[in-house]
Chain A
Amino acid sequence: MSELKGWRELPIGAIPFKLSTEFKTGDWRTFKPVIKQDKCVKCLLCWIYCPDMSIVWDGEKVTVNYDYCKGCGICAHECPVKAIEMVKEG
């Protein structure tokens, strides 16, 4: 955690000054989704359903951003070609 700011340093009106992308939720995870690229048909259903915006589509390949993935497994369950496997974190 960063150092807490004093009141004189805070923006007025209690508006937040950081984006939640600075807060990593990946450590909530027990199982992690692993995409088998050879099976993936790039339908992006995993991207659509992911509650944590952790599926990344760069235009060519589907990958997982483990900084935020909470390991819910919706992507693996919904994948129509079973290209995502949930693997226990080490």
Chain B
Amino acid sequence: MSFTFNIKELAKQPPKLLPGHRLCAGCSVPTIVKLILLAAEGPTIVATATGCLEVATTIFPYTSWNVPWIHNAFENVAATASGIEAAIKAMKRRGAFKYERVNIIAFAGDGGTYDIGIQALSGAIERGHDFLYVLYDNEAYMNTGIQRSGGTPLGAATTTSPAGKVIPGKMQHKKPIADIVVAHRAPYVATATPAHWADLMRKTKKALSIRGPKFLHVLAPCCRGWRFDMHLTMEIAKLAVDTCYFPLWEYEKGEWRLTDRSLVIAKNPKLKKPIEEFLKVQGRFKHLFKPENRHIIKELQEYVDMVWEDLLKRAGIK
């Protein structure tokens, strides 16, 4: 299935996420939401977990949401979406809901997905609710002030995994959350970044064309938490893909496909950049470049290579 987007036409429409929101300057999350809602045609209901996106877009009495929207709590956006979806089914049965199909989209950060929200997510996928779960992954609890999460990568300094003299940052790898969702045999799972915007919009559109639970793992560079200049947000997302730190892929009915830039790199391995390219532009990894911590960069490189090689095999490229 291929989708094309006429941005010049779409850009004339009133936005579904309005300006005047109070996410940080240079934040990637509003761009992610904007692109996803742009790709989501037709009636849409959005649920959002507690986090930066929720807080900064709904400071009473203001709302930035030009679509029906609900925030329930931190760990339960998948359960909330389950309730919305199931309620609509029942209300249709008694003729009290007029739309044939509604896009139900749940947004949650890494804390709300990898950690506190994984139970509700797993349950909702197992039950097969027809909804799209979007993980915007800024790799730490940014809303509470940059604490490590299950999505924080090896070596990253956060306020609860500081770069100390004995422990130089987080000492564990990022949890392979999208693989965990794939292991549920969800009908559609994909990774994306806002920088690769057409890929993100295409995946959104595709996901919404499929019935059942879908999962989009979107990398969300965070200038405050990752410590980089705010104009570099999209550049860093591109570096994450160019170094294969965050490969772009999609999984559907047992098949894995690399997409966009990752497919290009798979076909031309010389384009794969070393992980240092991604790390050196971010303050959270600064300490790794000290001689005594260099081994962590090596370890991270080995991990990235292993995951990438595995992905190439899964995608039938090797």
Chain A positions within 8 Å of B, measured between CB atoms, are: 5, 14, 16-25, 28-29, 42, 44, 47-54, 57-59, 65, 67-68, 70-74, 76-78, 86
Q: Does B121 contact A (CB under 8 A)?
A: no
Residues of A within 8 A of B11 (CB): 44, 47, 57
Q: Is the CB of B8 within 8 A of A51?
A: no
Q: Known: A72-B26, A76-B231. Contact between A51 and B60, CB under 8 A?
A: no
Q: Known: A24-B20, A76-B231. Contact between A48 and B62, CB under 8 A?
A: no
Q: Known: A48-B7, A59-B8, A74-B233. Contact between A25 and B60, CB under 8 A?
A: no
Q: Is the CB of A49 within 8 A of B194?
A: yes
Complex-state Cα separation, A5 to B197, whole angstroms: 41
Q: Known: A20-B63, A20-B64, A21-B19. Contact between A73 and B31, CB under 8 A?
A: no
From A19, A42, A59, A78, B18 is in contact (CB under 8 Å) with A19
* Inter-chain contact total with CB atoms closer than 8 Å: 117
From B12, B28, B58, B66, A51 is in contact (CB under 8 Å) with B28
- Which B-chain residue is minimally distant from A76 (CB atoms)? B231
Residues of A within 8 A of B23 (CB): 51
Residues of A within 8 A of B30 (CB): 51-53
A sample of 28 cross-chain residue pairs with beta-carbon separation below 8 angstroms, ordered by A number, consists of: A14-B60, A16-B60, A18-B61, A18-B62, A20-B19, A20-B21, A20-B22, A20-B57, A20-B59, A29-B25, A42-B8, A44-B7, A44-B11, A48-B35, A49-B197, A49-B234, A50-B31, A51-B23, A51-B30, A52-B30, A57-B8, A57-B11, A73-B229, A74-B26, A74-B231, A77-B232, A77-B234, A78-B235
Residues of A within 8 A of B25 (CB): 28-29, 51-52, 70-72
Complex-state Cα separation, A42 to B35, whole angstroms: 18
- Which A-chain residue is minimally distant from B63 (CB atoms)? A16
